């Protein structure tokens, strides 16, 4: 495996890591324990403080190419098996933490997404809430799906079962707890709800965009 400056890799045998030759890293680390795990990392402008900590089996992480910086992306999956994370093209990221610590969970992020900093996504609660009449856990893990061309503001939390449609905006400090269906909306609040319809967004600053 090619060595990359700025990237420390610690991986057990029976796992696969594929990294584009032109990738650039700063202060990054990948740790993989278990077997049958696959990590595929395409080129970005720079990966700054990329952290991956995987333990278990048959986990698949894909990051497609981006012409933007991907900063402070942290993926932690130290429990469970059979988990998938897919990140589409041209992600711009200030800070995102993904936690998948149960089993058979999927998380997908579409193309051309703009993420601020302090964002967290969790596909499970980590501990069980028990229905005393059945003796069964009632808070099972659920997938998270973020569409394409989605802008997520700072310090947003996306919990299990969340779906964010294409061309949406998620307001800063929101806590999103359920799936949404309608595209071109602003979602905000605690818990999140649609607060504006019939909108889109652009990376240009508002004053410049109008002029």
Residues 44 and 49: their CA atoms lie apart, in Å, by 13
Long-range contacts of 11-18 (CB under 8 A, 24+ apart): 15/39, 17/41
- How far apart, in Å, are the Cα atoms of 7 and each of 20, 65, 87, 89, 197? 13, 18, 20, 21, 43
Q: 202: pLDDT confidence band, cut at 50, 70 and 90?
A: very high
Q: What is the mean pLDDT of residues 172-178?
A: 98
Q: 2: pLDDT confidence band, cut at 50, 70 and 90?
A: confident
Average pLDDT, rounded, for the chain:
96
DSSP 118: S
Q: What is the mean pLDDT of residues 144-148?
A: 98
Each residue's pLDDT tens digit, 64-112: 999 999 999 999 999 999 999 999 999 999 999 999 989 889 999 999 9
- Residue 195 — left, alpha, or beta (φ > 0 → left; ψ -120 to 50 → alpha)? alpha
First to last CA, the chain: 50
Which DSSP string corresponds to 142-190? --EEE-SS-EE-TT-EE-TT-EE-TT-EE-TT-EE-SB---SSEEEEET
Each residue's pLDDT tens digit, 23-66: 999 999 999 999 999 999 999 999 999 999 999 999 999 999 99
Residue 182 has pLDDT above 90, yes or no: yes
Q: 207: pLDDT confidence band, cut at 50, 70 and 90?
A: confident
Q: Which two three-digit tokens encode residue 76?
A: 């932690």
């Amino acid at each position: 495996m090619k060595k990359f400056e700025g990237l420390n890799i610690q991986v057990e045998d029976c796992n696969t890591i594929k990294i584009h030759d032109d990738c650039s890293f700063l202060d990054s680390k990948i740790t993989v324990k278990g077997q049958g795990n696959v990590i595929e990392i395409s080129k970005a402008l720079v990966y700054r403080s990329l952290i991956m900590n995987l333990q278990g089996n048959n986990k698949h992480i894909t990051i497609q190419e981006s012409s933007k910086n991907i900063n402070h992306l942290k993926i932690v999956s130290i429990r469970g098996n059979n988990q998938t994370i897919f990140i589409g093209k041209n992600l711009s990221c200030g800070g995102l933490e993904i936690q998948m610590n149960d089993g058979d969970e999927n998380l997908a992020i579409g193309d051309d997404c703009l993420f601020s900093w302090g964002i967290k996504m969790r596909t499970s609660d980590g501990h069980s809430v028990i229905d005393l009449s059945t003796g069964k856990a009632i808070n099972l893990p659920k997938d998270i799906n973020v569409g394409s061309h989605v802008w997520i503001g700072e310090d947003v939390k996306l919990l299990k079962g969340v779906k964010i449609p294409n061309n949406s905006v998620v307001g800063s400090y929101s806590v999103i707890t359920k799936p949404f269906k309608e595209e071109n909306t602003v979602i905000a609040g605690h818990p999140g709800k649609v607060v504006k319809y019939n909108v889109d967004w652009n990376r240009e600053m508002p004053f410049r965009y109008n002029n």
